[in-house]
Amino acid sequence: MNRNSMWLAALRASVTIGAVMSALALPCGARAQETLGLSEADVMTLIYSDNIPGFRQVQRMKGQDGPQIMLDMPSDKWGPCSWIAAQWESGDGLTTLEISLSVCASRRAAYATAERYVLGSPTRVREDGADSRVGDRSWSHTYQGGAMVSALIGRTLVFLNAVPIRRRTGADSPWVATPLDASIEDIVRTLARGIEWNIRQRPEMLVRSDGTERRPVVASGTVSPGDPALTYRGTTWARLSDLSAAGAAVEWNPGSNRARVSYRGRTLELRACHSDAHSAGRRIRLGATVLLGTDTPIVPLRKVAEALGMKVKATKKTIEIG
């Protein structure tokens, strides 16, 4: 077995129930009644379902139906941990995407899990710099036809791995999965940031204040329903559908990865996994990559709203658009 194969085997092992149980197994005498208070529905909302453009969720993973979920796995050292793992295949049949997420009792427990399964893997993962980092700390690795990103976000450890199913002959360029139309590395990192958005919507998972601002989007005195806008690392993120509260017509087609927003004669077209938009033949740089939410793209709010001619006013309590 070559080094790449050994590494892939180790990464795949990291998302099996047996591997997680061996890391967090309950020794004799440990207390089993501790709980994180999370349900299966809670952990399922943190990752994607069958809504990733160009991928289909595998309905049977490692002999079990649907995602694998384990709640409140006990440990005498680190406290309980809840865990979910799921798998997708690209529509072109070239890539398997594996995502696992562990919610731990503390940030220290999450980092201990990262030390064992990420930093202790056979390959040389690199820690990402500030420009590419996901969450508090993240590590990544790319290889022929695949990429992985692991991120520590509060007391949550997220792991994404895109594994080639078969080699594409005669192709030197980075593999892409349409309709996301991006390299596998960019796809994995963008999906990781979308999961980070989900986690940051739940302050209790961040353990301590991390500077994230949570403010509802308001238009004409009406608060947009759903998740509030989040401001972190210098960008304010909001659901694209929030613009409809200001009177914009919002269309989102996840199958083609195309979104169209119209407001007072202006139309903006954008795609998840890309950092630019188009309007009347002009390319507009958004300054950040559009993320993928559960039912709508997550966008840099100010850039998108102002490109449509809206005014944006941010106060300590709200973000007003219109």
pLDDT at 156: 96
pLDDT at 140: 95
Percent of the chain topping pLDDT 90: 65
Question: Does 60 share its domain with 201?
Answer: yes
Convert the pLDDT of each residue in 94-126 to its tens digit.
Answer: 889 999 999 999 999 999 989 888 888 777 789
In this prediction, residue 208 has a pLDDT band, given cuts at 50, 70 and 90, of low
Query: Which of 205, 233, 266 is the last residue before a domain boundary?
Result: 205
Question: Does 254 share its domain with 298?
Answer: yes
Q: What is the mean pLDDT of residues 147-162?
A: 95
In the predicted structure, residue 270 carries a pLDDT above the cut 50: yes
Query: Which of 205, 221, 245 is the last residue before a domain boundary?
Result: 205
In this prediction, residue 237 has a pLDDT band, given cuts at 50, 70 and 90, of very high
Q: What is the mean pLDDT of residues 260-284?
A: 97
Question: Does 165 share its domain with 259?
Answer: no
pLDDT at 20: 43
Q: Which CATH number characterizes residue 249's domain?
A: 3.30.457.10
Which of these ranges, 75-79, 157-161, 186-190, 310-314, has the smallest mean pLDDT? 75-79
Considering only residues 8 and 103, tell me which one the structure prediction assigns the higher pLDDT: 103
Q: What is the mean pLDDT of residues 187-206?
A: 94
Question: Does 276 share its domain with 196?
Answer: no
Question: Does 247 share its domain with 154?
Answer: no
Show the domain range for 134. Answer: 3-205
In the predicted structure, residue 18 carries a pLDDT above the cut 60: no
Considering only residues 66 and 27, tell me which one the structure prediction assigns the higher pLDDT: 66
pLDDT at 4: 44
In the predicted structure, residue 39 carries a pLDDT above the cut 60: yes
Residue with tokens 């047996």: 18
Considering only residues 205 and 63, tell me which one the structure prediction assigns the higher pLDDT: 205
Task: Report the range out of 25-39, 122-136, 295-309 with the highest average pLDDT.
Answer: 295-309
Question: Does 131 share its domain with 165?
Answer: yes
pLDDT at 10: 42
Note the Cα 235 to chain centre separation in Å: 16
In the predicted structure, residue 5 carries a pLDDT above the cut 80: no
| Residues 6 or more apart in contact with residue 148 via CB below 8 angstroms | 11, 125, 140, 141, 142, 159, 160, 161, 162, 188
Question: Does 194 share its domain with 218?
Answer: no
In the predicted structure, residue 205 carries a pLDDT above the cut 70: yes
Question: Does 33 share its domain with 176?
Answer: yes
Question: Does 279 share its domain with 199?
Answer: no
Query: Which of 205, 239, 274 is the last residue before a domain boundary?
Result: 205
Question: Does 196 share its domain with 274?
Answer: no
Question: Does 143 share its domain with 66?
Answer: yes
pLDDT at 167: 52
Cα–Cα separations (whole angstroms), residue 42 to 132, 180, 237: 28, 27, 22
Number of independent structural domains in the chain: 2
Considering only residues 207 and 315, tell me which one the structure prediction assigns the higher pLDDT: 315
Question: Does 261 share its domain with 180?
Answer: no
